[in-house]
Amino acid sequence: MPTLKEQFWDPVAGFGVTFRTMFRKVVTEQYPKEKKPTAPRFHGRHQLNRWPDGLEKCIGCELCAWACPADAIYVEGASNTEDARFSPGERYGRVYQINYLRCILCGLCIEACPTRALTMTNEYELADATREDLIYEKQDLLAPLLPGMEQPPHPMRLGNDDGDYYRGTFRRQDDETGEATQ
Amino acid sequence: MTVTPSKAGSNAPAPQDLVTLTIDGIETSVPKGTLVIRAAEQIGVQIPRFCDHPLLAPVGACRQCLVEVAMPGPDGELRTMMGPPGRVKPQASCTLPVAEGMQVKTQLTSPIADKAQQGVMEQLLINHPLDCPVCDKGGECPLQNQAMTNGRGESRFQEVKRTFPKPINISAQVLLDRERCVLCARCTRFSEQVAGDPFIALVERGALQQVGIYEKEPYRSNFSGNVIQICPVGALTSADYRFRARPFDLVSTPSVAEHDSGGAAIRVDHRRGKVVRRLAWNDPEVNEEWITDKDRFAFHYANRPDRLTHPQVRDGETGELRPASWPEAFAVAARGLRAAGRVGVLTGGRLTREDAYGYAKFARVALGTNDIDFRSRPASAEEEQFLASRVAGRGLGVTYTDLERANAVVLLGLEPEEEAGTLFLRLRKAYRAGGTRIFAVAPFTSNGLRKLGATVVKAAPGEEVPAIEQLAHDGELALDGGGVILVGERLATVPGALSAVAVLASQTGARLAWVPRRAGDRGALDAGCLGSVLPGGRPLADAGARVDVGAVWGSTVPTVPGRDTDGILAAAAAGELGGLVVAGVDLDDLADPTAARAAVASAGFVVSLELRASAVTEHADVVFPVAPVAEKPGSFVSWEGRVRPFEKVLEGSNAVPDVRVLAGIADELGTPLGFQTIEAAAAELDEFASWDGERAADPTVAASPAAPAPAGSHRLATWKTMIGDGPMQDGDPAYHASGPTPTVLVSAATLESLGAAVGDQVELSTDTGTAVLAVGVADLADDVVWAPTSSGGVNLGRDLGAGAGSAVRLSLVPAAAPAVQEAM
């Protein structure tokens, strides 16, 4: 035979939690109507950066693909020629794909990148309707052209050779032109 | 790759030749003369090294392999080898032979050796650009690896590194990044010692020292790709593989090269269903660690746009080929072949052993004929008899190792550097070791023969027989004292020559080997793709052999001897044969390409099994696409008679091998082959034990004296250069550009009478046509000229209707007139 407490108090005791919470601050986020900024170093979608003249920083070395624990990155390198230059130096990434069905956004690729070509943005809205659309190609990942940048292929504008770029001894065309990242 | 394989038991020296030493406290006994670095390998101690290579002479160039060494003195007390007073002098273990009682301490047990190695590594890295991310060697680089295991973590070098302008072409295929070079001299030693093409050398001094070429001459070698492979850093890279992949992208499969009869072991690296490069694999019995450039770079043919992807049949109404399903194509082919009645089979020399066996059985069981021939080149009935009596089904005969042991090797109708590169390298090794003398019957002293130190018995084309007969009495040659005769396939074009060779071998007791050019020739012969030869070298004429074969096949074997290639084509043109089944035959390879084209065009019904569209598929009534070597398993038989099996490289490919296609047609014909797969075909072929019965008799064709060239003409000597125009070499511009300029060679007197200088354009002409090539000079007879059979867009058979021994006219192309440049 249940006690009086069990019969009358226990069934309504839970409402006490409800009642208390009604006066607390609401934590529900109104996503997607309201979007909150992420933490500044949140691991979001990748970005392939550019030099201030628009040349790509990626040299197609595949170290990101090598570092990737999920085998999400596919890169094919190719030679820059005098007629078609995409990056300073000899080599550029002709094909660059990241498969966001596989990517776990761990950031090991960023650590592996020797030229800081690959960084991560704070964009996290990586959902789509088809599998194909979640394989991001190079044009999807490249940073947008900022003022002063020129769509490759074009010759090196900031120095005579790739050494000038990597040593940072290139001529700044426009001091306000920063890098495309962050 | 650089670890020396343990020698076979028979080579092991007598115990008294062993030297006992201690390495890292482990006592070991090794043969006298062994280098310390090699002795350490044998007990599992890896000493870092760059310049050391077991197949190259020691040089001690990189100093990376320093170890601490102590030797017992006269009083028996150990004394460490010292440098300046009070300082130990580490020794380079790659140049130091072992000595009795020696105490070696490597980096594992000696801090002095470890510090010395780290110092050397730091020194090597001072001028190394560390551009690993853009370097093709990154990920498989001995410098990278050994810098991690035996180097300091941090560099103390602050100054500006030496730089050079980025890569220079030392040939069209080989690129040199001078700043990455650690001056180990592996490439220059390979070129000088192994290939014999010393076009590259170390030039300049001190910090500026670099690998260089003679400015006016690119690095020209049929074996140049090997320097890319043995470079321990990324200084030498290939134009073809540049930036194509990383080691971790690649799936490596051991395979066998399909370009010559050497049977070279290769490693095929593929990425995402496409072969991206091929490397030499280590097989000490066959190719050691070297392969030819053709084996290394000529693999793009399988990915050309004209690759056949689906069966096609000729539409009755439009007369055009149209795509068809496999069952339809099988049915149409079977219907056509049945209606054609008598059918001939041409298999070409590029088939694997198993596929060749499929054709041999298909011809006899399904088509009921012996009209089958694998020889797609100038051939003769004498050759057929020679092959039946001396070569077919003989198993392993003369081997590469035997060549090193032979006291004399005679080359007849064979230019090893161009026609059998792996063989050339082994002959050169034998020659350099000093024990083997090399003789050749040839029209002139070619570069290849010069590199072999060959004694050349000069014979104009067609006049080889007297020269061969003379060899038996050559006291200097002394074939009867352990000689080897190597016969090339070109000797078939000289009447009586192979008969003379058989006599020579019998007279002197010299061992005989037949060296065809194509990888599939020996296998096709053993599988029975010849009119008078059944599988396993069984002679068709022998009733016992026919019963033997019939028992395995469960059917009777046709008894009428088959025609040869020319006979089959002539019969097809004349209507005696109603149909043809043609495998990978390039009609331009045949003695008379024009007649062959006409014969295929006029043949009643042609079934073509091809990889790519060809002159045969143009006229074929049914075309079946078949798998290239990388997309099927199989085996080749090397010129030694060694079976060289290989696995399917591209597992994802669903291309079907010839055997499967033949089985499909045979099923439709109502005479099943009994196998549909390579494995089953191989198993059935292996059921044929070697033939112990009577063999065909040696050929006895009398020599017919060659007709002298008509006045104003020259006799043509010709063979194919390694880098030439074959369809299996298509697709790599750098490879072709690294080949020799197609050149007509004439005697100095002829050059003078033409009024030409070396390098001028000359015109070769016959009544059929003309061809323009550059001219060069060689020690030819005055009435003989040499030209490559098929190079630089010129095919002598197709363009001139000329083969070895033909009369050709020669004239200088006036410099003012624009020289006709044939398209590559």
Concatenated DSSP letters of B255-285: EE--SSTT--EEEEEEETTEEEEEEE--BTT
Contact A61 B167 (CB under 8 A): no
Quick one: B541 and B454 in the same domain? Answer: no
CB B393 within 8 A of CB B692: no
DSSP structural state of residue A8: I
Q: Could you read off the pLDDT of B317-361 as tens digits, one per residue?
A: 999 999 999 999 999 999 999 999 999 999 988 999 999 999 999
pLDDT of B297 > 80? The answer is: yes
Quick one: B615 and B760 in the same domain? Answer: no
Average pLDDT, chain B: 91
Q: Is residue B111 part of a domain?
A: yes
DSSP structural state of residue B430: H
The residue segments making up the domain with residue B455 are: 388-515
Q: Could you read off the pLDDT of B138-189 as tens digits, one per residue?
A: 999 999 999 999 998 888 988 888 888 878 888 899 999 999 999 999 999 9
Q: Is residue B441 part of a domain?
A: yes
Structure-token pair, residue B653: 């490919």
Q: Is residue B158 part of a domain?
A: no
Quick one: B663 and B796 in the same domain? Answer: no
Q: Shortest Cα distance from A64 to chain B (angstroms)?
A: 11
Q: Is residue B607 part of a domain?
A: yes
* Residue range B438-466: mean pLDDT, rounded: 94
pLDDT of B542 > 70? The answer is: yes
Nearest to B452 by CA among B428, B487, B426: B428
**Segment 7-36 of chain A within 8 Å of chain B by CB:** none
3-state secondary structure of B511: strand
Quick one: B421 and B340 in the same domain? Answer: no
Q: Could you read off the pLDDT of B110-145 as tens digits, one per residue?
A: 999 999 999 999 999 998 998 999 999 999 999 999
In the block, residue with structure tokens 């050497």: B262
Q: Sign of torsion, CA B289 B294 B297 B300?
A: negative
Q: Is residue B270 part of a domain?
A: no
The reported pLDDT for the residue numbered B265 is: 97
**Chain A hits for B133, Cβ within 8 Å:** 59, 61, 63, 114-115
- CATH number of the A34-144 domain: 3.30.70.3270
Quick one: B462 and B575 in the same domain? Answer: no
**Count: domains in chain B:** 4
The reported pLDDT for the residue numbered B9 is: 41
Q: Shortest Cα distance from A113 to chain B (angstroms)?
A: 9
Which one of A59, A65, A163 has the shortest CB-CB distance to B133?
A59
Quick one: B460 and B598 in the same domain? Answer: no
CB B426 within 8 A of CB B433: no
Q: Phi, psi at residue B38, to the nearest 5°? A: -75, -40
* Residue range B647-663: mean pLDDT, rounded: 95
Quick one: B420 and B358 in the same domain? Answer: no
* Residue range B371-397: mean pLDDT, rounded: 94
Which one of B163, B166, B246 has the shortest CB-CB distance to A66?
B246
Q: A153 preceded by cis ω (within 30°)?
A: yes
DSSP structural state of residue B365: I
Nearest to B101 by CA among B37, B34, B45, B19: B19
Which one of A60, A65, A114 has the shortest CB-CB distance to B243?
A60
Structure-token pair, residue B47: 């000493």
CB B179 within 8 A of CB B236: no
Quick one: B655 and B555 in the same domain? Answer: yes
Nearest to B761 by CA among B748, B745, B774: B774
The reported pLDDT for the residue numbered B68 is: 95
> Which residue, of B94, B124, B154, is where some domain finishes?
B124
* Residue range B200-228: mean pLDDT, rounded: 83
The reported pLDDT for the residue numbered B821 is: 47
Residue of chain B nearest A95, judged by CA positions: B244
| Domain assignments of chain A as residue spans, ordered by start | 34-144
The reported pLDDT for the residue numbered B444 is: 96
Quick one: B740 and B630 in the same domain? Answer: no
Quick one: B451 and B431 in the same domain? Answer: yes
**Chain A hits for B166, Cβ within 8 Å:** 90
Nearest to A52 by CA among A150, A126, A124: A150
Stated length of chain B: 824
Q: Is residue B342 part of a domain?
A: yes
Q: Shortest Cα distance from B464 to chain A (angstroms)?
A: 52
CB B747 within 8 A of CB B775: no
Residue of chain B nearest A112, judged by CA positions: B133
**Segment 140-179 of chain A within 8 Å of chain B by CB:** 163
Q: Shortest Cα distance from A97 to chain B (angstroms)?
A: 14
Compute how many other C-beta atoms are within 10 angstroms of the C-beta atom of residue B455: 16
pTM metric for this prediction = 0.91
The CATH number linked to B674 is 3.40.50.740
pLDDT of B818 > 80? The answer is: no
End-to-end Cα separation, chain A, in angstroms: 68
> Which residue, of B638, B666, B685, is where some domain finishes?
B685
Quick one: B793 and B646 in the same domain? Answer: no
Q: Could you read off the pLDDT of B507-529 as tens digits, one per residue?
A: 999 999 999 999 999 999 999 99
Element (H, E) at B100: none
Query: What angle (nearest 5°) sits at the alpha carbon of residue B152, between those of residues B147 and B157?
Result: 100
Q: Shortest Cα distance from B272 to chain A (angstroms)?
A: 11
The reported pLDDT for the residue numbered A181 is: 36
Q: Phi, psi at residue B368, to the nearest 5°? A: 65, 40
pLDDT of B642 > 70? The answer is: yes
Nearest to B291 by CA among B197, B233, B224: B224
Burial A131-156 (b: 16+ CB within 10 A, else e): eeebbbebeebbbeeeeebeebbeeb
The CATH number linked to B69 is 3.10.20.740
Q: Is residue B258 part of a domain?
A: no
CB A98 within 8 A of CB A135: yes
Quick one: B479 and B399 in the same domain? Answer: yes
Distance CA B808, CA A179 (A): 70
Contact A62 B249 (CB under 8 A): yes
The reported pLDDT for the residue numbered B816 is: 57
3-state secondary structure of B153: coil
Q: Is residue B152 part of a domain?
A: no
* Residue range B13-37: mean pLDDT, rounded: 88
Contact B133 A114 (CB under 8 A): yes
The reported pLDDT for the residue numbered B10 is: 44
- In this complex, is the C-beta atom of B139 within 8 Å of any C-beta atom belonging to chain A? yes
Distance CA B746, CA B760 (A): 12
CB B488 within 8 A of CB B461: no
Q: Identify the segments of chain A with pLDDT beneath 50.
A: 173-182
Contact A91 B243 (CB under 8 A): yes
> Which residue, of B685, B705, B729, is where some domain finishes?
B685
CB B208 within 8 A of CB A24: no
The reported pLDDT for the residue numbered B14 is: 56
